[in-house]
Amino acid sequence: MADTATKTSSGSERENAPVNIIMIGMAGSGKTTLMQRINAYLHERKTPPYVLNLDPAVSKLPFQANIDIRDTVDYKQVMKEYNLGPNGGILTSLNLFTTKLDQVMQIVDKRAATTKYFLYDTPGQIEIFTWSASGAIITNSVAATYPTVVVYVVDTPRTANPATFMSNMMYACSILYKTQLPFLVAFNKTDVVSHDFAVSWMNDFEEFQKALMRQEEGYMNSLMNSMSLVLDEFYAHLRVAGVSAMTGQGIDGLFEKIDEAVDEYYETYRPHLQKQIEKKREEEREKKADDLKRLLKDLSVSEGKEVDI
């Protein structure tokens, strides 16, 4: 009876919980344009998202952001004040924004009851967000609250080259490894070039080999051939969707994949997170007990002795 009640409660929580979608992609991949398309798509379905822009260097957004890092941090002023280059300016701006993250999360919590999706747009310099301390803090804080999915946006026409394709897949693998969150690759610009070739390369190693053979032989071909074998297991569990930010083609399929990723969050990530939280609490309890034991020992040793001041 208790188990049934727990399952019912869990199911209700799952049904009512909003979904965090973190958009990551290289500059020029169409990530921000895809954000605009998703924003419009959700508005059409009467489920307007809550949008957060985390890119301090963007000059103009094609959509309205509810929370904008540019309202908190002046990117150009940061560069000038700290004598930084563009990448250093973005990183420092993210660091400064992270100091106010608790306030941002409070706003997100207040909006959670009336919002189905929270969209996070990140800088095009993906390594700055993915591998920085501030990016990790933001990602982990978001993922600890509600179901979170990372969408990695890929420029499909450019990926038609095997070397660029492999580079993108290595980036995808590193982002998945770093975030350890439910992950989805969105091949964008499918109105220009279909992403079928990419799916074929991932599903059939021999097809990728044929593409390599059409290029000049050399060290890079041998390296990519070896890397494709290494990534075979990664491909087997990778969610892929083809979309066009320009026409809106494939957005329905994208959200089907997002729903699958949300299921993974509840089945895999959340139990892992709860174990980590419990482990941290246990370590804190042990530390407090150890500190108390040491204090009592010090008191017993010093009992009856005069203390020099």
pLDDT at 261 over 60: yes
141 is written with which tokens?
Answer: 């804080």
Give the relative orientation of helices 196-203 and 205-213 as an angle to the nearest 10 degrees: 110
CB atoms under 10 Å from CB of 89, counted, come to 24
Query: What does the pLDDT read at residue 304?
Result: 55
Where is pLDDT greater, at 285 or 239? 239
Place of tokens 């419009």: 40
pLDDT at 6 over 50: no
How far from chain centre, in Å, is Cα 177? 11
Give the model's confidence band at 12: pLDDT under 50 very low, under 70 low, under 90 confident, else very high: low
* DSSP-based three-state secondary structure for 124: coil
Give the model's confidence band at 7: pLDDT under 50 very low, under 70 low, under 90 confident, else very high: very low
129 is written with which tokens?
Answer: 């967000």
pLDDT in tens, 197-220: 999 999 998 899 898 888 767 777
Q: What is the mean pLDDT of residues 29-41?
A: 96
Cα–Cα distance measured from residue 69 to residue 57, given in angstroms and rounded to the nearest whole number? 9
For the chain, give the mean pLDDT: 89
Could you list the beta-strand ranges (E) of the chain: 19-25, 50-53, 67-68, 117-121, 148-155, 183-188, 239-242
Question: Rg (Cα) of the chain, in Å, rounded?
Answer: 24
Tell me the one-letter amino acid at 137.
I
Q: What is the mean pLDDT of residues 185-194?
A: 97
Q: Which domains does the chain have, with CATH numbers?
A: 16-269 (3.40.50.300)
Give residues with Cβ within 8 angstroms of 290, minimum separation 6: none
Cα–Cα distance measured from residue 218 to residue 87, given in angstroms and rounded to the nearest whole number? 33
**pTM score, whole prediction:** 0.86
Cα–Cα distance measured from residue 12 to residue 59, given in angstroms and rounded to the nearest whole number? 41
Cα dihedral: 153, 158, 163, 166 (round 10)? 20
* DSSP-based three-state secondary structure for 262: helix
